[in-house]
Amino acid sequence: MDEGKRATPMTADPAGEGDFADAHRRLQDLRERLDHIIVGQDELVTHLITAVFAAGHVLIEGLPGLGKTQLAKALAAALGLQWARVQCTPDLLPADVTGAEIYLSASGGASSFEFRPGPVFAQLVLVDEINRATPRTQAALLEAMQERQVTHAGTTHPLPSPFCVLATQNPIELEGTYPLPEAQLDRFMFKLTVPFPARESLRKMLDVSLDAEPADTLQRLAGPADVLRITRLCRTVLLGERCKEAAVDLVVATQPNGTGANVDDRRHIRYGASPRALQALVRAARVRALMAGRAHVDVDDLGAVALPVLRHRVLLRLESELDGLDVESTLASIIGAWRRRL
Amino acid sequence: MATHEVHELLGMVRSCLWRARFIAAIRKAMWASAALMLLAVAVHMAARRVPIEAVLLLMSGLWAVLVLRAAWHRPTVAGCALWADRHLGGASAFTTVLELRGAAPGHASESARQWLENWVAARLPESLRLLAERKESMRLSRPLLSMLVCAALATVVLALPDTAPVSRQQALALPPSGIGDTSASATQAPTPDKLVGEIASALRSAQSHDAPERRDTGHANATQGGKAAVDKDPAATQSAPRPTGEGVGVAASPSGSAAEPALASGSAQAAGGGRIAGDGRDERSAPGMSRALQGTIAVTRSAARTASAPAEMQADMTQLATYRDDFAPPVAAVAHSSSEVAAATPPPATESTRLTPTEASYVQAWMKASARRR
């Protein structure tokens, strides 16, 4: 089922005025708590919370040792979510991810096959180095991400809710890897990059997480029900015509033959953002608005999530890449021009 | 509910926007007026007379159109809300509020609507404060200054009589001005070429005043002989023929022509003798004549004089050949050479060539005076 179809109409889930205040407070608390644990990655934490409450999946790209696994564990612990980890290797099979039927023999001589769910049936799944899995395994995982269900031997098994996949990949050591196809990259709401922390953050990290894992002792701030409630509440955040037009303008500006961006930026683009990117943009902006204590979306919310939403959905021409141009700078130019037109 | 406050804010924003629009219209009208006045000045100067009343009428129409256009386009409520969102920290709240008020009741979540109303109500004081503190620069000084400068220029120029067509007609009707054509030049302003011509003629006249003195000098040199020329111009003595030494007679001495700085160019000058030294005018500083042309003219004159020179003057050229050591004249010429050698010697002084005591005293007095002057 498409994510856009799952989004309920704004009038379908009437919420009280206190719900907005409570959701805002919980989101603020969660962000502050995670900022104390994952030191120096404030923006990463904010984007991750945004993706979880927007019912999206996140692809995290960063070097080893920057705290990606720690962040996933802390998020699961703070939200009280059941979490699982999959370390992808080339010999990982789809059944290792989605689950498999095993033969059970009862004491009375009766035997049967029973479906044993894989790690994808957790509420928060950390898929480490997803680009090291074979395309077959990747396809099984990404199908589960999109459909939120697993069909095995003719039986459909729905995935739990909330369901969020945090996949990581290493930007170096690409030998023996299977880069994700563009169609599968589009399933991720955000692609986040983990920057190296600043010097002050490194110094503070020694005080926080030198001898113990702070995620293990993190106090639970909410439960899965709260996550679902806030997710539904985010869908009632108001979206004015100005913001709708701005979101459409931004997605159109990424098209090679679109309007809005200047010609110099457009000529580098081979493929632009998809309509699914537009949906992800607005849903993420709604969560950002709620985190800011508003029940309406501003164009600044769209601009704040534009880069992680569009980063993995825009492809540059080969000539431009050979010239040393990257997606980040091109998108930064497009988003800057889009902001100036607002 | 903050409905009243929101409308109050939007009303203030509207007045602010309207005022800014009027200011922009005035600014545009000022620039257009300045351009119009410059155009009128240009037309007045180049083509035809432009009445001031027409310029004023055009400017009035321009101002009326721009101001009425600004007054006619009243800022809309949506435009005011959008402006408030952009500049007063509205965060798209004011436009969203207006959209929700115009939408159906079940369009949005009631709690979200209520939360939005509360947010707007909490934001209103800050927005009002920002609006009150907002100081839009009018930026009228430059267009106003330009308009005033152009107005002053137009007032001065348009008040002048229409001279451009007359001068153009004169330029078309008058033939090319020649020498002595003073009727047209009296009414026209002197052109740079004309000024240069006048200056050149003045310089020539000044040189012509100096010319008799130079002629006198040349004549004195010629009459005093090569000694005087050697004393005054040692450089000239280097180019002078060596046989003309001390006590050489006046008529036969070529050193007088060699000492003349204006005609120091080879044997042709030597053939010219002292006659040329005081006769030619120094035209090296004359404008419009190159040095090469001067040399050509001098040579031509020398050649002409050589052709028309008497036989005793031609003998000097032959005399030059007698000083060549390797010269071997033909036998026929050797038989005739005795008379030529006799002819090459300086002619004896006669009573007619000698200066009278009066003339000699005059020349000596003049030489002393010229020496003192130098």
Instruction: List, for residues B110-119, the tens digit of each pLDDT value.
Output: 889 889 999 9
Q: What percent of chain B has pLDDT over 90?
A: 24
- What residue type is assigned to position B331 of the chain? V
CB contact under 8 A, B85 and A237: no
CATH topology of domain A237-342: Helicase, Ruva Protein; domain 3 (1.10.8)
Q: Has residue B145 been placed in a domain?
A: yes
Residues B330-355, mean pLDDT to the nearest whole number: 57
A190 vs B211 pLDDT, higher one: A190
pLDDT confidence of A64, banded at 50, 70, 90? confident
Do B212 and B116 belong together in one domain?
A: no
| Chain B residues with CB-CB distance to A240 below 8 A | 92, 95-96, 99
Calculate the alpha carbon distances from B333 to B310, B317, B336, B339, B340 in Å: 21, 15, 5, 10, 9
For residue B99, what is the nearest residue in chain A, using CA coordinates? A240
B100 to chain A: which residues are within 8 Å by CB?
A: 238
Residue B363 lies in a domain: no
CA A318/CA B318 separation, integer angstroms: 95
- List, as one string, the DSSP characters of B151-167: HHHHHHHHHS---HHHH
Residues B131 and B10 in one domain: yes
CB B121 within 8 Å of CB A325: no
Q: Which residues of B touch A297 (CB under 8 A)?
A: 92
Same domain, B126 and B261: no
Q: Chain A residue closest to B90 (CA)?
A: A298
Q: Is the pLDDT of residue B161 over 90?
A: no
Closest Cβ–Cβ partner in B96, B113, B119 for A240: B96
Q: Which domain range does residue B216 map to?
A: 207-324
Cβ B109–A13 below 8 Å, yes or no?
yes
Grade residue A203 by pLDDT with cuts at 50, 70 and 90: confident
Residue A204 burial (CB < 10 Å; 0-12/13-18/19+)?
middle
Mean of pLDDT values over B315-321: 53
Residues B146 and B253 in one domain: no
> What average pLDDT score do residues A150-176 get?
88
pLDDT bucket at A216, cuts 50 / 70 / 90: confident
CATH number of A15-94+122-236: 3.40.50.300
In a domain, B229, yes or no: yes
Report percent pLDDT > 70 for chain A: 94
Q: Which of B101-105, B178-182, B281-285 has the lowest mean pLDDT?
A: B178-182
Contact A205, A70 (CB under 8 A): no
Cβ <8 Å between A294 and B93: yes
- A298 closest CB neighbour out of B92, B99, B107: B92
Q: Which residues of chain B neighbour A19 with C-beta distances below 8 Å?
A: 111
What is the pairing mode between strands A124-128 and A83-87? parallel
Name the residue among A10, A20, A240 with its Cβ closest to that of B92.
A240
As a whole number, mean pLDDT of residues B324-328 equals: 56
Q: Taking CB atoms and an 8 Å cutoff, what residues of chain A touch B95?
A: 240-242
Residue A313: pLDDT over 90:
yes
Eight-class DSSP state of B351: T
Q: Is residue B374 part of a domain?
A: no
CB B129 within 8 A of CB B11: no
Q: Which residue of B111, B116, B120, B123 to mutate against A (max A Cβ within 10 Å)?
A: B111
Lowest mean pLDDT across A134-148, A255-269, B112-126, B306-320 = B306-320
The pLDDT score that the predictor gives to residue A197 is 87
**All structural domains of chain A with their residue ranges:** 15-94+122-236, 237-342
Which value, to the nearest 10 degrees, does the dihedral of the CA atoms of residues B347, B350, B356, B361 take?
A: 20
Mean pLDDT of B7-30: 92
Q: For residues B151 and B212, state if they share a domain.
A: no
Give A114's strand partners. A102
- In eight-state DSSP terms, residue B15 is H
From the CB of residue A55, how many other CB atoms can be counted at a distance below 10 Å?
A: 24
What is the structure's pLDDT at B104? 73
| Residue B195 domain flag | no
Interface size A-B, in CB pairs within 8 Å, comes to 75
Q: How far is CA B344 from CA B315, B321, B323, B338, in A?
A: 6, 11, 11, 10
- Same domain, residue pair B25 and B119: yes
Beta carbons of A236 and B95 less than 8 Å apart: no
Nearest to A241 among B99, B110, B113 (CB): B99
Question: Which residues are within 8 A (CB) of B84 and not within 5 positions of it... i.e. 6 or more apart?
Answer: B9, B10, B13, B90, B94, B127, B131
Last residue of a domain, one of B159, B181, B196: B159
- In angstroms, the CA A327 to CA A310 distance is 9
Chain B interface test: which of A287, A294, A301, A339 (most B C-beta within 10 Å): A294
Nearest residue of A to residue B82 by CA position? A242
Contacts of B234 (CB under 8 A, 6+ apart): none
Helix (H), strand (E) counts: chain B: 18, 0
Please answer yes or no on whether A11 and B112 come within 8 Å at the CB atom: no
**Among B98, B99, B115, which would you mutate to test the A interface (most chain A Cβ atoms within 10 Å of its Cβ)?**
B115
Between chains, do A294 and B109 touch, taking CB under 8 Å as contact? Answer: no
End-to-end CA distance of chain B: 109
Cβ contact B111–A20 (<8 Å):
yes
B92/A242 Cβ within 8 A: yes
Q: Of A252, A244, A336, give the one whose Cα is nearest residue A286.
A: A244
Q: How far is A341 from chain B (nearest CA, A)?
A: 11
Tell me which of A222-226, A258-262, B27-31, B142-146 is least confident: A258-262
Highest mean pLDDT among A6-15, A157-166, B156-165 belongs to A157-166
Q: Say whether both B29 and B104 belong to one domain.
A: yes
Q: Which two tokens stand for residue A3?
A: 């994510």
Q: Which chain B residues contact residue A244 at CB under 8 A?
A: none
Identify the contact set of chain B against chain A, taking CB-CB distances under 8 A: 82, 85-86, 91-93, 95-96, 99-100, 106-116, 118-119
Q: Which residue type occupies A226?
A: D
Judge whether residue B259 has pLDDT over 60. Answer: no
For residue A6, pLDDT beyond 70: no
Q: Residues in chain A whose beta carbon is closer than 8 A to a beta carbon of chain B?
A: 10-11, 13-17, 19-20, 236-238, 240-243, 293-300, 342
pLDDT reported for residue B286: 52
Residue B242 lies inside a defined structural domain of this protein: yes
> Does residue B117 sit in the same domain as residue B225?
no
> Over chain B, what is the mean pLDDT?
69
Cβ-nearest to A296 among B82, B110, B116:
B116
Per-residue confidence (pLDDT) for residue B323, from 0 to 100: 54
Q: Give the pLDDT band of residue A130 (cuts 50, 70, 90).
A: very high
Q: Which of A215-224, A299-308, B12-21, B232-241 has the lowest mean pLDDT?
A: B232-241
Please write the tens of the pLDDT for every residue from A95-124. 999 999 888 887 777 788 888 999 999 999
* pLDDT category of residue B295 using cuts at 50, 70 and 90: very low
Q: What is the rounded distance in angstroms from the CA atom of residue A116 to the CA atom of residue A119?
A: 10
Contact B116 A10 (CB under 8 A): no
Closest partner residue to B109 among A14, A243, A297, by Cβ? A14
Residue entry with tokens 């990424």: A254
**Chain A residues closer than 8 Å to B109 by CB:** 10-11, 13-15, 236, 238
B1 neighbourhood in chain A, CB within 8 Å: none
Residue B123 lies in a domain: yes
Residue in B6, B94, B109, B123 to test binding to A, most A beta-carbons within 10 Å:
B109
Looking at residue A135, what is its pLDDT?
93
Whether residue A297 and residue B106 make contact (CB cut-off 8 A), yes or no, is no
Number of domains comprising chain B? 2
Give the CA distances from residue A185 to residues A163, A192, A310, in Å, rounded to whole numbers and listed in that order. Answer: 17, 12, 11
Tell me: pLDDT of A92 over 60. Answer: yes
**For strand A111-117 and strand A99-105, is the pairing parallel, antiparallel, or unpaired?**
antiparallel
Query: Which residue on chain A is closest to B96 by alpha carbon?
Result: A240
- Cβ of B116 within 8 Å of Cβ of A295? The answer is yes
- Closest residue of B to A19, CA-based? B111
Q: How far is B112 from chain A (nearest CA, A)?
A: 5
- For residue A24, list chain B residues with Cβ-Cβ distance below 8 A: none
Three-state SS string across A137-152, please? HHHHHHHHHHHCEEEE
Same domain, B17 and B120: yes
Same-domain check for residues B151 and B256: no
Cα dist from B334 to B212, B315, B342, B345, whole Å = 45, 15, 13, 17
pLDDT (mean) for B291-320: 49
